[in-house]
A and B are shown apart, each in its own frame.
Chain A
Amino acid sequence: MKSSRLQVRGLRVDYEDTTAVKDVDLAVDAGMVFGLIGPNGAGKTSLIRSIAALVDPTYGQISIDGIDLFTDSSAALQRIGYMPDAPPLYEDLTVYEFLELFAGAYGVPVPRRRGRILELVEQVQLTEKLDTLCGGLSRGMRQRIFLAKCLLHDPSLLLLDEPASGLDPNARREFGDIIRKLGESGKAIVVSSHILGELSDFCNSVAIMEQGHMRISGRIEDIIPAVSDSRHIRLRTVENQTEIVQKVLQEFPQITHTNMVDNTVEFRLEGDDQTQAECLGQLVGRGVRILEFAEVQLDLHDIFQQVTDGGLA
């Protein structure tokens, strides 16, 4: 049986007056870019910090590549690349020296160190900054250095906590491209964020956390049918025919959550292909001039709203 890169079982993290993570189970396989979604205070950072061995969980099991984090932390940590939100740097070290520090800490063999650092700075497009002091770098450059730092030892699991916060749109897009490529190369990546738009670009799996609970997790294509037993239909007409459309839709008790804006109507249909075809036939029969009548694929916003109360900004 194939084992997951990251396996979390029954994890609980308590603080003095709150429980941040409540009996969470999670499995992340190779190639998964796993978006950890939830509002502020949902427990995302506590979960990531527990996996990075920075927080003592109350109980539970964490294993990386089958290695238990608590019994063999050194071997487990060698397989993790961790990047926190707003990571600090040694301002008086150059980019090369900073990366060399962590290459040494993660045990990259001395003869391979320089080559590995050069390879990674090229990858994050900072080759020309190699001899610049870290103190003189912009926020975006710092984030990229940290990503390079996380990759130095070629970990099998990357933990990225709000990695794109504070980046401008271009830097965010570039960052997303890098993460997507890393996922394609076979790494397991856990990315936490409360900005869904940022995750939807590169995640192929998601987990939604709310008040410490893992509400749902898995590949997006597996989650959609699980979270929604209805079809999302978008109807676009040539001109505004609100009254007729509304009348037709009301004749179908399977249609709910109708939302009309100008010539576009979105609604949920709890029925099969037959019902959908009947609905279309009725609209055409009543003279509605249709430009588009199609099922809409759910995005992360929709999934999140379906699963939670929609409390995300």
Chain B
Amino acid sequence: MTMTTPHHTRKEPFVRLKDNPLLTAQTRRSFRESTLVKALIVPAVLGICALVAGQTRLGPWQFDFADELLMMLIGFFLLLQAPSRMSSLMAQERNSGILEFHQATPTSGWTDALGYLVGGTIRHYVRAFVLIPFLLIATLLNDSSFLDALGAVLILCTTGIMYQLLAMLLGLIGGKRGFFGTLATAIPIILILFGQVLVKADITILAHLTPYPALIDLSVLDAGLTSAGDTYTTFVFGMTLSPLFYTIVYHLFVASFLFWAVARKLRRTDATVFSKPGAFIVYGVLSILLMSDLYSPALKMGRFALFVYLQTTVILGVLITTFICPTLLQYLRRKRRLAKDGASRSSHWADSARVWATTGVFGLVWIALFYLVSERFVAFGVAQTAISIESALLCLQVLGLFAFTAAVCEYAHFASGKSALATLGLVVLIFVIVPWVFFAVGHLNETMKPLGYLGVLSPTYGTLFSITYYVSPLDKLPITNGTEHLSHLFTWLTTGLFLWQTRTRLNWHSVSSSGGVNKLAQ
């Protein structure tokens, strides 16, 4: 108690690679004596079992099976176990209150995110790396390339980092809610299970969310996953790229966005996942990347690629909108701050600003890119002209869906008076699941056909069929009988209704700088 001023007032770096306190602490937690033994012994035993299994299954010195088994084990540790651990670690840190201590330190969110990511998963990486010598033995005995196998491990690592960051984000968003923990485990499983379908369908940008394209390129997987047999080519805007190279770049690119979001949430638990400029960058860049398939030399996917592009960019816009809506508290604080400062307007890009401007920009980006891709496809005789009544109606419907999403998100956060997540779930049930169930029942059972028209109640109904008809005008099925336009109308009406409810509720809150949060109508 002799010093009275801080003796180390060094400037905190943006990110600490060396002397990262959380990395050290989390590594220590991962390697307490008991867990270290398990971390080393369990994979070693599994490695021996894989070699033995490879030999007994295919006869002496046939180690193909062992190769694959070892890869699967490494994949299990990095793609499934590590994300699951990260999601629960983040939830624990948040729920125990210890995350607040880190928020009260001068370290940056990037330093903390790096510390958690490396320190929290290091045990799983050690487990995976313990298997590498066994992989070496298997490749030597099998006369296959050990370098290719190492390349495959590298790809599993980059994929793992992406999945682990996603799990961290979900853990931070979810807190005590188990749903997000389940989601953190379910998403990698779904991607791994359906990844082979994405590879077969040649949807570059989605297929590369899995390690499969690179593994095929490395000849580690040769199970005829692609339509062309054992080869896989990555086309990006007409350029032919190495799937291995593209996978690494793409994974690091997606991981950097997720890392950014995790760093934000670590420093401020109630922050929106993305800042509004960040959301715009994420949406714009991913939309442009999604276009890359449409520029393959022979338009190899034709209508299907266009359909996937249009649908995916719409879904992406909807998802990102749900991640940028501020809470009522953030919104009210901002209003009062403005009232105090005497300012009538502030930036629409502020975290606490309403989502309409950003969602509107998403809509404009979607329309601009839609125009570009439509022009290209018209030239190939696949779609209709970019400027037509049909395309105008499609744009209107997509804007309607974005507006509906923004209105619902704001209603859930500002006006529902219940948990935003629960309200969003209820809206999804009423406006997505139930109408589609009616639609399915109506079309599966001839006697209940009128029930099928209740599908129009879902805004997704109009969007899905508008895109389908736009992409395939010649194959137009009389499945909706033009009711998609009714769905457009209904989308805008329900958007207006949610907006009105939110507006009414917000008017209840006084936003004067002197008074409290007065509810004018109780």
A interface list, Cβ under 8 A from B: 12, 14-19, 22, 30, 52-54, 56-59, 73-75, 77-80, 82, 84, 87-90, 92-93, 97-98, 100-110, 112, 123, 151, 153-156, 181-182, 185-187
Contacts and interface: CB of A to CB of B under 8 A. Distances in A.
Given A14-B333, A16-B329, A59-B337, A52 B104 contact: yes
Contacts of B106: 73-75, 77-78, 105-107
B517 A18 contact: yes
B6 A54 contact: no
Contacts of A53: 103-104
B10 interface: yes
A222 B96 CA distance: 41
B22 interface: yes
Contact of B1 (A97, A153, A156, A181): A181
Nearest to A60: B340
Chain A interface, DSSP helix/strand/loop, else mixed: loop
B32 A74 contact: no
B105 A102 contact: yes
Contacts of A78: 6, 8-9, 12, 106
Contacts of B447: none
Interface in B106-144: 106-108
A154 B24 CA distance: 22
Contacts of A155: 6
Contacts of B516: 14, 18-19, 22
Contact of B101 (A58, A75, A102, A154): A102
A187 B1 CA distance: 9
A102 B21 contact: yes
B101 A87 contact: yes
Contacts of A22: 516
Given A107-B106, A153-B6, A156-B6, 5 more contacts: A56-B270, A84-B97, A151-B1, A154-B5, A186-B4
Contacts of B22: 101, 105
A117 to B, nearest CB: 13
Contacts of A16: 328-329, 332, 517
Given A77-B104, A87-B101, A12 B1 contact: no
B69 to A, nearest CB: 33
A54 B332 CA distance: 18
B98 interface: yes
Contacts of A108: 8
Q: Quick one: which of B12, B19, B22, B268 has the most chain A CB within 10 A?
A: B12
A196 B355 CA distance: 47
B197 to A, nearest CB: 42
Interface residues of B, number: 48
Contacts of A57: 333
B298 interface: no
A185 B4 CA distance: 7
Interface in B1-32: 1-12, 19-22, 24-25, 28-29, 32
Chain B interface, DSSP helix/strand/loop, else mixed: loop
6 contacts: A19-B516, A54-B104, A104-B21, A107-B8, A108-B8, A156-B4
Contacts of B24: 100-101, 104
Interface string B69-107: 000000000000000000000000000111011111111
Contacts of A109: 8
B276 interface: no
B329 A14 contact: yes
A90 B1 CA distance: 26
Contacts of B12: 74-75, 78, 107
Interface in B156-187: none
Contacts of A12: 336
Given A54-B103, A123-B1, A92 B29 contact: yes
Interface in B325-356: 328-330, 332-333, 336-337, 340-341
A77 B105 contact: yes
B424 to A, nearest CB: 18
A202 B337 CA distance: 37
Contacts of B107: 105
Going nearest first, the 5 A-B pairs with the smallest beta carbon separation are A104-B21, A186-B4, A105-B105, A185-B1, A101-B25
A203 to B, nearest CB: 18
Given A14-B336, A104-B24, A105-B21, A54 B4 contact: no
Contacts of A84: 97, 100
A110 B19 contact: yes
A74 B108 contact: yes
A70 to B, nearest CB: 11
A104 B3 contact: no
Q: Quick one: which of B25, B107, B341, B519 has the most chain A CB within 10 A?
A: B25
A10 to B, nearest CB: 8
A102 B5 CA distance: 18
A106 B22 CA distance: 12
Contact of B517 (A14, A82, A92, A93): A14
Contacts of B19: 104, 110
A136 to B, nearest CB: 14
Nearest to B515: A19
Contacts of B103: 53-54
A112 B108 CA distance: 22
Nearest to B9: A78
Given A77-B105, A101-B22, A17 B100 contact: no
Given A16-B332, A58-B333, A59-B336, A101 B21 contact: yes
B28 A88 contact: no
Given A14-B517, A78-B106, A82-B104, A93 B332 contact: no
Q: Quick one: which of B4, B7, B519 has the most chain A CB within 10 A?
A: B4
A110 B24 CA distance: 13
Q: Quick one: which of A22, A54, A73, A89 has the most chain B CB within 10 A?
A: A54
A90 B332 CA distance: 36
Interface in B487-520: 513, 516-517, 519
B97 A14 contact: no
A98 B98 CA distance: 12
Contacts of B513: 59
A84 B99 CA distance: 12
A182 B9 contact: no
A109 B19 CA distance: 10
A312 B10 CA distance: 43
Contacts of A97: 25, 28
